[in-house]
Structure formats: structure tokens, C-alpha cells
Homo-oligomer: A and B are copies of this chain.
Amino acid sequence: MKKKITLKQIARELEVSISTVSKALKDSGEISKDTKDKIRAFAKMSNYRPNSIALSLKNRQTKNIGVIIPEIVHHFFSTVIKGIQTYANTKGYNLIICVTNESYEKEVINIELLANGSIDGFILAISEETEMKNNFDHLKEITEQGIPLVLFDRVTNEVACDKVIIDDKVGAYKAVKKLIDNGNKKIALLTTASYFSVSKERDRGYRQALLDNNFEINENLILELDHFDMDDTPIEEFFDKQEIDAVLSVNETFGIRAMRVVQRKGLKVPEDISFIGFTDGLLSRYANPRLTTVDQHGGRMGEAAAEMLIEKIESEEENEIYRTEVIKSTLIEGDSTIN
């Protein structure tokens, strides 16, 4: 087993000083060609690579980005990570990824763990529990410490930092508009509990589109579901108690599940009832029929977030100007709506 070689060892071996070795490898003009060649040959032979920890300590930068997300087995979030990776890699940054499992405590712990010099900045989507508690002190603290932070998707106004979101409201609006234009009258909304920032925006878009088109808002047409409850009974009851001709779902799974429920009831999609979901993931793509969706462009969000963060990290001045970038959502026409 050949251990990692250091400058010191090279220096001793070649009987020069450590600084000479360092300078030679950096192609400094201070070192003669002969010495340089000798040192470089030896370094190459012994496969020398500078220790990145030592560099981090010296330069006070780690070239690591802390990415904190609520869930990883999740199409949208993994897409965002991919986007972050793509951009970060071109800039020489690595990703330290922590999953909070939607827990407030884990979010706090992970942030504290990384804020001690392990990373140059954070990219984070707020966990459900944190949104519920509405407590963002841990985030304020890192910004106060001067650690750059970019929030994406699940954001809050409480914290002054860069943000990347999609136009959830507009996305929902466009979806409902399409359903209305197709002649649908009873348009339902499948959503999650109302304290989630994204659901809230989508809910707003839904209502706005209805109002703008002279529809009345019927609260009976709005069904709140729980992520973790896999029981379809509430969905069945919802569709049993009233006639519905179109559905907007704030995510993929509710949409797919509802589609199955109505299909089992013998309805045809999209002839009898139309569906539009959020998130253009695998589920939507492989659904039968292919679900029409509002694409959130997770990849682009990730890239945007990474770009904003790295810009902040590498800029000298401490400007306190924060931007919020809005990624445009797109309606992807599948076969669950009439096109």
C-alpha cells in the first residue's frame, strides 16, 4: 500500500526545501528550469496530489456546497440535485448532500454540522415540519454568519437570501385555464395541507383562474390529502359525492391515484374527465394515459440555484442584494386532457 505523498516527502527526497517544491509545481518563475523539471518528474512519478484539506484550511474555502433537501427518493428533488451537480461541477465544486426527511430537527442539525467550515454555502429546500413550525432561526443564523444561502422551491420571506422558485401560481393558472378552455365546468383541486408554500401558491393560481373566468369557487371541489396516507377511500368518496369533469393535482401521485380511482369507476380519461398534475416525473410519463403536467424544470432550478450560490461565494463584496429567480413552468400536454 502506497500512502499519499506530501510536499515534505518530495522535498526530503530531492534535498530541496518545501517551498521550492511548492513553487516548482506551481510553475513559479523563481525556480530554475532544471530544478523544476526534476521536481515535476518526481511528483508525477510518485503521483503527487495536493491535499485538499490543507488547501481548504489555508484558503478558507472548501469548494463544497451543502445541499439540504427534504427527501431524496423523489423525482423533483433528485432532478434539482442533478441540475446543481451539472453547474457546480463545471466550477469545480462538490456536493455534500443531506436529507432531512422533512424533519425540522434534522434540518437544524445538518446545517450546524456543515456550517463549521465544511462548506462554502448552502442550497436548501425547507422541510415540511419547518414550514409548519414557521421557525427559520437556523437559516437566519447562517446568513448572519455570512455563509451564502440559496433557498429553492420551498422558500420563506422570513429569511433574506437568494431564492429560486417556479411560478407555481402561474403554472396552476395556466393549467386551470386550459381545463376551462376545453369546456370543463366542475374543476377540482387535489392538494396537501395548506401550510406548504408551494401548495398555497398553486391553490391561489387555481382560484384566480376560476375567478377570472367567472367561475364560482366551490370549496367542496377542493380535497386536501396526506402524502403518507396510501388509502384511496377519501379520493373515492370525493368523486362519489359529486360530478367532476376535470382535476388539477398539486403533485403527480395524487393525480395518478385519482385517475385510477375514476378509471375503476368506469370513466374514460380524458373523454369523461381530464387530469393535470404538477411535476413532470416518470410517473406522469408512464401513466396510462400519459398525464398532462405542469413541468417544474427541476434541473433548471438546480442550475440556477448553483449559479446564484457560486456567484455569491466567489464575489468579494458583501452585497446585501438578494435576488429571487422565477423559473417558468411549462404545460406538458399528455393524453389525460383533450388537446
Contacts and interface: CB of A to CB of B under 8 A. Distances in A.
A45 interface: no
Interface string A15-48: 0000000000000000000000000000000000
A99 B62 CA distance: 19
Interface string A263-283: 100000000000000000011
B117 A286 contact: no
A85 B72 contact: yes
A327 interface: no
A330 interface: no
Contacts of A146: 1-3
A302 to B, nearest CB: 11
A54 interface: yes
A241 interface: no
Interface string A58-92: 00001010000000111100110110010000000
Interface in A267-308: 282-283, 286-288
A338 interface: no
Given A282-B282, A283-B283, A286-B256, A2 B50 contact: no
A318 interface: yes
Given A81-B72, A82-B99, A144-B2, A52 B253 contact: no
A231 B233 CA distance: 36
A94 B99 contact: no
A53 B49 contact: no
A68 to B, nearest CB: 11
A286 B261 CA distance: 12
A328 to B, nearest CB: 21
A145 to B, nearest CB: 6
A257 interface: yes
Interface stretch (A108-116, A130-138, A182-190, A207-215): A108-116
Contacts of A98: 85, 94-95
Interface residues of A, number: 50
A118 interface: yes
Contacts of A1: 144-146, 318
A95 B94 contact: no
B62 A72 contact: no
A253 B282 CA distance: 9
A247 B112 CA distance: 50
A332 interface: no
A194 interface: no
19 contacts: A1-B146, A2-B145, A4-B116, A4-B117, A51-B57, A51-B116, A54-B117, A64-B96, A72-B82, A73-B75, A73-B79, A75-B282, A82-B99, A94-B96, A95-B98, A96-B96, A97-B97, A283-B286, A288-B288
A57 to B, nearest CB: 5
Contacts of A197: none
A177 B52 CA distance: 53
B82 A117 contact: no
Contacts of A74: 78
Contacts of A115: 49
A202 B88 CA distance: 36
